[in-house]
């Protein structure tokens, strides 16, 4: 035989991927005769490289899309990339720095030129990597969130929302990243648990005639912000501070006088019960300040250094300033003590810098109105989240949704289409021309020129383009009634990570209802995070993330795909272990060898058909498993679906069916058996194909001559068929018999090659007759006959109430055998007692359903028969 004993994925994968591409199997066009099935890819960052998370996510999407394609649906998987403004800009800035260029020395246009060059050169590698995985995306439809049409959609949406009053400009407390020098959305801020210090500072109470100065002690974690203090707040019910109501205090070092205000917001027990109010640098203080109509003093520059308003430590970084002021306070005797306490530090997801709550002028998008339909759609299961446990999280987020800060102080992205007039007012427009027209109209100044207008410097948050993705990839903004969007939208399934449920998924749902009055997708499958075997997140610094392409190289794409899916139920983190991928590869090999076996048989047409029972059984078994597989798919239990296929292939098809029909060495096989077997293998390949596309396509073609477009990838998915439950159950018993015989061999050290005899004492001989050949073959038997009486001097066992005897030619260990039987007898007796107890319970008999009672009766009868049989065997020993 010339076929390799090991499956070799390398050339196979390339060959079939190219072949699929050439024949256009991935490409989709609207087809009114077919049901559409659509997935839009969560666009990876254009700067990204494939990591394990992508592997899992895209394998699942590919499984779904391939199955749909085989089901005869018009399957369309739209790929693309995201411009990822912060991440990409950071990479370009770093690249320029290496060349000795500072971003601040460049104009916006110069910088963008570099950025585009960089994107053209390094961007989109990830899409090429996805091809190695076997992703059957419609590459003709590849989109990029910053390409012209998609940017135009973003601008159009911005203008539209602005005109609807949904977008506004305002001073707000934002999360400021002093390193990236941009505002961040709440979702881009990562809280980190740390130990922080609480400084207790003395504020002098403004002289009220007392000879000695008196103080109030204020606790703060940020002493460097005291120069921005505008008040000290205490709880009006706090007895300790009653004497200070209506008084003022002096800021330490600065000496500035500020009022003591009263508010029940202050927790009496926390710190000293006295709170310094610094509206410019803390969200809660800001709200307190608003309430009490206090001024705000912002003492920080964009880069986190102190400005002139601070008066002290001007120009120093906030952390340096903190060290210095603590020292000075100490020297001035105003620092009472320092306490350690556990606190949460807000950091930037991108740069890791400590976030500065800061007042700044930003653009916001109102969320509350848009959140309504988006919330309802999920709560009433119009859009289903898998697993549904995420519904609660989704609801609590949507019910407490806050306005979305959409502006970013960056250059890489869609520039905010607001144009400022010389008088400081502004207009919002989709183009320069329109802006000028509007500006002239609104200012009444027809002399205004384009040069008089200044466009906002900021760009929009990346998510402001990705929330439109399911619509914009089909040009639903440019041309709202085009045939693609009408056909493919709403899409079917979205596969993504739970950490972007709010960033992205929720906003896409909002955009769907806002701009098309329709949900963007019907199902959201939430994957878990891929972690290492110890449960740690995969990260570059830990070096615990394998390179996916190396894995593919080593184990084959099919092996990796199967390995990823073996243990990743929806919503659960995947603890990745290379063992899983190894298992996937071994599975490939198993399938390969099954194919080799079948391919190697000579057919002799003159032979009769000896395998009717085996064929009938596997046919039923396949259909039984198939119903299960379909059920798993319908509930998005992808791992379970794969495991069902795995067991069907390995246990049922290979270990059992093929062993049953396998002719003796170098003997030919009959025509009927081989035909059935090939048909079975084809069906098995079909259900396997979504998971392991390459090896299945390879075998499909090696098995038979195929016509030009007769590919597995576009073959028809099996249909659910009726199956014979009785033959499956009977075979289970038969395989138990075989297993018991093998067990006897094992425990008695009887080699496989030595034939044994078997005597069967059963109630219904005819029920066993069709299976005798199978038992003989799988257990390697010589004599095989039915008997009426128990056989002396034999090892016996019982399966489903029937007795089986293997004569042992006298070398039977009577004591051991007696002990074994005695043990089994005791167990069965105990079992009978428990069943009897149940059945004699009046309330059980009257309360339980008929089927359950019947079952208990059957258990009782079986147990009694078994006890009887064991006792006889014991007697005959």
Partner RNA sequence: GGGGUGUUAGCUCAGCUGGUUCAGAGCACCUGCCUUACAAGCAGGGGGUCACUGGUUCGAAUCCAGUACGCCCCA
**Residues annotated in the binding site, as ranges?**
540
Interface with RNA, residue 579, by CB under 7 A? yes
Residues 6+ apart with CB under 8 A from 822: 874
| 840 membership: H or E segment, kind and range | helix 814-840
Contacting RNA within 486-525 (CB under 7 A): 498-499, 502
Indicate the DSSP class of residue 305: B
Identify which range of 197-205, 647-655, 673-681, 761-769 contacts RNA by CB under 7 A: 647-655
Site map (CB under 7 A) of RNA, residues 528-557, x = contact = -------x----------------------
Minimum CB distance to RNA, residue 451 (Å):
43
Interface with RNA, residue 748, by CB under 7 A? no
Q: Which of 572, 547, 542 is nearest to 560 (CA)?
A: 547
Interface with RNA, residue 742, by CB under 7 A? yes
Interface with RNA, residue 23, by CB under 7 A? no
Interface with RNA, residue 575, by CB under 7 A? yes
Both structure tokens of 318: 């906030």
Give the largest Cα separation in the chain, rounded: 123
Minimum CB distance to RNA, residue 703 (Å):
14
Apex 84 CA angle, 79 and 88, nearest 5: 120
**Are 625 and 632 a contacting pair, CB within 8 Å?**
no
Interface with RNA, residue 425, by CB under 7 A? no
Interface with RNA, residue 268, by CB under 7 A? no
> 312, 345, 597, 762: which one contacts RNA (CB under 7 A)?
597
**Are 161 and 167 a contacting pair, CB within 8 Å?**
yes
Minimum CB distance to RNA, residue 697 (Å):
18
d(Cα 289, Cα 280) in Å, to the nearest integer? 9
> 13, 74, 138, 187: which one contacts RNA (CB under 7 A)?
187
Both structure tokens of 566: 């073996």
Residues that contact RNA, how many (by CB under 7 A)? 68
Interface with RNA, residue 433, by CB under 7 A? no
> 409, 545, 593, 767: which one contacts RNA (CB under 7 A)?
593
**Are 405 and 364 a contacting pair, CB within 8 Å?**
yes
Minimum CB distance to RNA, residue 121 (Å):
34
Identify which range of 562-570, 612-620, 754-762, 869-877 contacts RNA by CB under 7 A: 562-570
3-state SS record for 191-255:
EEEEEEEEEEEEEEECCCCCCCCCEEEEEECCHHHHHHCCEEEECCCCHHHHHHCCCEEECCCCC
**Are 218 and 200 a contacting pair, CB within 8 Å?**
yes
Indicate the DSSP class of residue 522: E
Minimum CB distance to RNA, residue 624 (Å):
11
Q: How far is CA 58 from CA 376, 390, 468, 500, in A?
A: 29, 21, 20, 16
Distance of CA 662 to the CA centre of its chain: 43
> 267, 290, 396, 425: which one contacts RNA (CB under 7 A)?
396
Sheet containing strand 384-386, edge to edge, reads 384-386, 521-526, 491-496
> 566, 691, 717, 797: which one contacts RNA (CB under 7 A)?
566
Nearer to RNA, 385 or 453 (CB): 385
Minimum CB distance to RNA, residue 769 (Å):
22
> 145, 589, 623, 673: which one contacts RNA (CB under 7 A)?
589
Interface with RNA, residue 169, by CB under 7 A? no
Minimum CB distance to RNA, residue 756 (Å):
13
654: helix, coil or strand? helix
**Are 150 and 144 a contacting pair, CB within 8 Å?**
yes
Identify which range of 197-205, 258-266, 648-656, 711-719 contacts RNA by CB under 7 A: 648-656
Residues in binding site for ATP: 540
135: helix, coil or strand? coil
Nearer to RNA, 346 or 872 (CB): 346
Distance of CA 161 to the CA centre of its chain: 31
| 559 membership: H or E segment, kind and range | helix 557-566
Indicate the DSSP class of residue 798: E
**Are 96 and 743 a contacting pair, CB within 8 Å?**
no
Contacting RNA within 365-394 (CB under 7 A): 389, 392-393
Interface with RNA, residue 755, by CB under 7 A? no
Minimum CB distance to RNA, residue 575 (Å):
5
> 217, 545, 844, 864: which one contacts RNA (CB under 7 A)?
844
Interface with RNA, residue 650, by CB under 7 A? yes
> 752, 765, 782, 822: which one contacts RNA (CB under 7 A)?
752
Q: Which of 760, 745, 772, 803 is nearest to 660 (CA)?
A: 772
Contacting RNA within 87-146 (CB under 7 A): none
> 479, 659, 783, 826: which one contacts RNA (CB under 7 A)?
659
Minimum CB distance to RNA, residue 814 (Å):
21
Nearer to RNA, 208 or 659 (CB): 659
- Alpha-carbon Rg for the chain, nearest whole angstrom, is 37
Nearer to RNA, 112 or 654 (CB): 654
3-state SS record for 388-435:
CCHHHHHHHHHHCCCCEECEECCCCCCECCEEECCCCCEEECCCHHHH
Site map (CB under 7 A) of RNA, residues 188-207, x = contact = ---x----------------
Interface with RNA, residue 801, by CB under 7 A? no
Residues 6+ apart with CB under 8 A from 88: 45, 46, 47, 115, 118, 119, 412
> 665, 809, 815, 840: which one contacts RNA (CB under 7 A)?
665
Contacting RNA within 291-310 (CB under 7 A): none
Q: How far is CA 443 from CA 170, 447, 733, in A?
A: 21, 10, 90
Interface with RNA, residue 586, by CB under 7 A? yes
Minimum CB distance to RNA, residue 706 (Å):
23
Interface with RNA, residue 679, by CB under 7 A? no
Interface with RNA, residue 482, by CB under 7 A? no
> 259, 357, 668, 739: which one contacts RNA (CB under 7 A)?
739
Q: 10 Å Cβ neighbour count for 442? A: 13
Minimum CB distance to RNA, residue 44 (Å):
20
Distance of CA 243 to the CA centre of its chain: 58
Interface with RNA, residue 397, by CB under 7 A? yes
Both structure tokens of 651: 């246990």
Residues that bind RNA (CB under 7 A): 5-7, 186-187, 191, 344, 389, 392-393, 396-397, 400, 402, 498-499, 502, 535, 566-567, 569, 572-573, 575, 579, 583, 585-586, 588-590, 593-594, 596-597, 600, 640, 643, 647, 650-651, 654-655, 658-659, 662, 665, 738-739, 742-743, 745-747, 749, 752-753, 838, 841, 843-844, 847-849, 852, 855, 859, 862
């Amino acid at each position: 035989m010339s076929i390799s004993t090991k499956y070799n994925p390398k050339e196979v994968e390339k060959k079939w991927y190219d072949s699929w591409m050439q024949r256009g199997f991935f490409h989709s066009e609207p087809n009114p005769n077919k049901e559409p099935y659509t997935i839009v890819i969560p666009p990876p960052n254009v700067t990204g490289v494939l990591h394990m998370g992508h592997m899992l996510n895209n394998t699942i999407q590919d499984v779904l899309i391939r199955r749909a394609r085989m089901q005869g649906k018009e399957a369309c998987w739209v790929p693309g990339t995201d411009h990822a403004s912060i991440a990409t800009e950071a990479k370009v800035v770093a690249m320029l720095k290496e060349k000795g260029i500072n971003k601040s020395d460049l104009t916006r246009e110069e910088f963008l030129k570099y950025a585009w060059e960089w994107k053209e050169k390094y961007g989109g590698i990830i899409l090429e990597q996805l091809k190695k995985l076997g992703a059957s995306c419609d590459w003709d439809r590849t989109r990029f969130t910053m390409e012209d049409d998609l940017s135009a959609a973003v601008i159009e949406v911005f203008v539209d929302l602005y005109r609807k009053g949904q977008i506004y400009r305002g001073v707000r407390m934002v999360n400021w990243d002093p390193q990236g020098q941009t505002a961040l959305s709440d979702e881009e801020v990562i809280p980190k648990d740390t130990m922080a210090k609480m400084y207790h500072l003395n504020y002098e109470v403004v002289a009220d005639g007392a000879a000695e100065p008196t103080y109030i002690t204020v606790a703060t974690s940020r002493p460097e912000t005291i120069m921005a203090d505008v008040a000290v707040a205490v709880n009006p019910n706090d007895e300790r501070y009653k004497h200070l109501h209506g008084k003022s205090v002096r800021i330490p070092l600065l000496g500035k006088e500020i009022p003591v205000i009263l508010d029940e917001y202050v927790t009496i027990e926390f710190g000293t019960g006295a709170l310094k109010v610094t509206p410019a640098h803390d969200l809660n203080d800001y709200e307190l300040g608003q309430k009490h109509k206090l001024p705000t003093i912002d003492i920080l520059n964009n880069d986190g250094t102190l400005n002139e308003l601070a008066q002290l430590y001007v120009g120093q970084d906030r952390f340096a300033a903190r060290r210095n002021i603590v020292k000075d306070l100490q020297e001035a005797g105003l620092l009472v003590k320092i306490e350690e306490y556990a606190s949460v530090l807000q950091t930037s997801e991108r740069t890791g810098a400590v976030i500065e709550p800061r007042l700044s002028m930003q653009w916001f998008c109102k969320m509350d109105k848009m959140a309504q339909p988006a919330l309802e759609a999920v709560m009433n299961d119009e859009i289903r989240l898998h697993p549904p446990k995420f519904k609660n999280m989704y609801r609590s987020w949507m019910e407490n949704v806050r306005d979305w800060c959409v502006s970013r102080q960056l250059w890489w992205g869609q520039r905010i289409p607001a144009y400022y007039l010389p008088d400081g007012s502004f207009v919002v427009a989709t183009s320069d021309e329109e802006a000028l027209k509007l500006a002239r109209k609104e200012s009444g100044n027809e002399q205004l020129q384009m040069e008089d207008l200044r466009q906002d410097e900021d760009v929009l948050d990346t998510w402001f383009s990705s929330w439109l993705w399911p619509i914009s990839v089909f040009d639903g903004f440019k041309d709202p009634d085009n045939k693609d969007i009408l056909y493919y939208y709403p899409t079917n399934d979205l596969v993504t990570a739970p950490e972007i449920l709010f960033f992205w998924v929720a906003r896409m749902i909002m955009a769907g209802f806002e701009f098309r009055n329709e949900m963007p997708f019907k199902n959201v499958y939430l994957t878990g995070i891929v972690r290492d075997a110890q449960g740690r997140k995969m990260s570059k610094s830990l070096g615990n993330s394998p390179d996916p392409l190396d894995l593919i190289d080593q184990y084959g794409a099919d092996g990796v795909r199967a390995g990823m899916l073996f243990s990743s139920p929806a919503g659960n983190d995947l603890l990745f272990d290379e063992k899983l991928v190894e298992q996937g590869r071994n599975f490939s090999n198993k399938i390969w060898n099954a194919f080799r076996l079948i391919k190697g048989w000579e057919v002799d047409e003159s032979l009769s058909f000896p395998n009717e029972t085996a064929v009938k059984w596997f046919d039923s078994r396949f259909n039984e498993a198939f119903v299960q597989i379909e059920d798993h798919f319908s509930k998005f239990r992808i791992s379970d679906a794969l495991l069902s296929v795995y067991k069907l292939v390995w246990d049922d098809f290979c270990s059992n069916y093929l062993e049953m029909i396998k002719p003796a060495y170098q003997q030919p096989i009959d025509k009927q058996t081989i035909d059935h077997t090939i048909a079975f293998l084809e069906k098995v390949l079909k259900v396997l194909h979504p998971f392991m596309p390459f090896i299945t396509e390879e075998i499909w073609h090696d098995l038979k001559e195929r016509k030009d477009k007769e590919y597995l990838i576009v073959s028809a998915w099996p249909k659910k068929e009726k199956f014979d439950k009785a033959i499956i159950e009977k075979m289970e018993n038969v395989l138990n018999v075989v297993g018991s015989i093998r067990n006897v061999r094992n425990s008695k050290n009887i080699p496989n090659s030595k034939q044994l005899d078997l005597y069967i004492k059963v109630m219904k001989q005819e029920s066993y007759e069709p299976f005798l050949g199978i038992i003989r073959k799988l257990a390697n038997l010589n004599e095989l006959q039915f008997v009426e009486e128990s056989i002396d001097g034999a090892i016996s066992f019982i399966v489903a109430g029937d007795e089986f005897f293997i004569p042992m030619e006298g070398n039977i260990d009577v004591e051991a055998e007696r002990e074994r039987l005695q043990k089994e007898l005791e167990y069965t007796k105990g079992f009978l007692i428990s069943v009897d107890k149940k059945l004699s319970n009046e309330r059980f008999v009257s309360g339980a359903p008929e089927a359950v009672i019947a079952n208990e009766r059957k258990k009782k009868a079986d147990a009694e028969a078994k006890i009887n049989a064991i006792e006889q065997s014991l007697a005959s020993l």
